[in-house]
């Protein structure tokens, strides 16, 4: 079952406005449970977590910035 364009657009907005801030809070709290690692390792962990959160949502975000493919053509010739 594929999601429609408008559904993917709304879902991607929800993920970015609600899910991403929640993920950031959880990631900071989890990393804060451990002793402070060297700065390069901490940076590597945050970059890895920053990439990891988006992988499951790749299909949702794909093509959202493009024009609606289901919309009728608007040629005012």
For the chain, 77 residues long, give each residue's pLDDT as a single digit of tens: 677 888 888 998 999 999 889 988 988 888 888 888 888 988 888 888 888 888 888 888 887 777 777 777 666 55
Tokens in use for 11?
Answer: 């879902």
Q: Which pLDDT does position 63 carry in this prediction? A: 78
73 lies in a domain?
A: no
52 lies in a domain?
A: yes
Q: Which pLDDT does position 74 carry in this prediction? A: 64
Q: How many domains does the chain have?
A: 1
**76 Cβ neighbours under 8 A, 6+ residues apart:** none
Is 57 buried (19+), middle (13-18) or exposed (0-12) by CB count in 10 A? middle
Q: Which pLDDT does position 75 carry in this prediction? A: 62
50 lies in a domain?
A: yes
42 lies in a domain?
A: yes
Tokens in use for 76?
Answer: 């005012």
> What does the alpha-carbon distance between residue 20 and residue 55 come to, in Å, rounded to a whole number?
13
67 lies in a domain?
A: no
13 lies in a domain?
A: yes
Q: Can you give the residue range of the structural domain that contains 18?
A: 5-59
66 lies in a domain?
A: no
What pTM did the predictor assign?
A: 0.69
């Amino acid at each position: 079952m594929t999601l429609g364009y408008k559904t993917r657009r709304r879902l991607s907005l929800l993920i970015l406005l609600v899910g991403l801030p929640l993920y950031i809070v959880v990631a900071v709290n989890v990393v804060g449970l451990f002793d402070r690692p060297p700065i390069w390792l901490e940076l590597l962990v945050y970059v890895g977590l920053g990439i990891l959160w988006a992988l499951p949502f790749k299909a949702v975000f794909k093509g959202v910035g493009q024009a609606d493919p289901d919309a009728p053509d608007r040629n005012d010739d």
